[in-house]
Amino acid sequence: MILTGSGNMNSYLQFMTVLILFVFVLGLTYFVTKWIGGYQKTKSVNANMEVVESCAIGNNKYIQIIRVGKKYLAVAIGKDSVTMLTEVPEDQLILSDKFSDSRLSFKDLLEKLQKKNFMENEDDRDKDE
């Protein structure tokens, strides 16, 4: 009977050890991921190159408009190749900020969505009256 009490205590200690190790590894993974993400972000910030728009035209095949310096280029991207199609004059492009929402913080996006839903609900109430 004494062995079972000691066995229960041993099992409890093993469980607590595994739980503490799990939380430690989870926390370490979180911080390393944040660090690597920040490192990658600083590496990918370029003032001279930018993907303006991308369109999938098939399986692993895309046409992209990219800005290199002050020139805009249309390129075809396949699984194993990248081919320049043409230079696109800037005045022929429709450069809009419709994708600027991706640069907003989560809080800003949430507030924008809440305002939109509030306005839609107000419109529905006006129709009912």
0.75 exceeded by the pTM? no
- pLDDT tens per residue, range 68-96: 988 999 999 998 999 999 999 988 888 77
How confident is the prediction for the chain on average, in pLDDT?
Answer: 81
The pLDDT of 32-50, averaged and rounded, is 78
d(CA 122, CA 102): 27
Buried b (16+ CB within 10 A) or exposed e, 50-88: eeeeeeeeeeeeeebbbbeeeebebbebeeeeeeeeeeb
Place of tokens 């190749």: 81
Range in 28-32, 37-41, 88-92, 95-99 with the lowest mean pLDDT = 95-99
- β-sheet bridge partners, residue 77: 62, 82
Residue 66 and residue 49 in contact, taking contact as beta carbons nearer than 8 Å: yes
d(CA 29, CA 85): 43
Domain ranges of the chain: 1-45, 47-95, 97-129
Give the 3-state secondary structure of residue 87: strand
Q: Is the pLDDT of residue 45 over 70?
A: no
Sheet holding 71-77, edge to edge: 49-58, 61-68, 71-77, 82-88
- Give the pLDDT band of residue 2 (cuts 50, 70, 90): very low
pLDDT at 21: 97
- Give the pLDDT band of residue 101 (cuts 50, 70, 90): very low
- For the chain, how far is it from start to end, CA to CA, in angstroms? 76
Q: Is the pLDDT of residue 5 over 70?
A: no
pLDDT at 1: 40
Q: Is the pLDDT of residue 129 over 80?
A: no
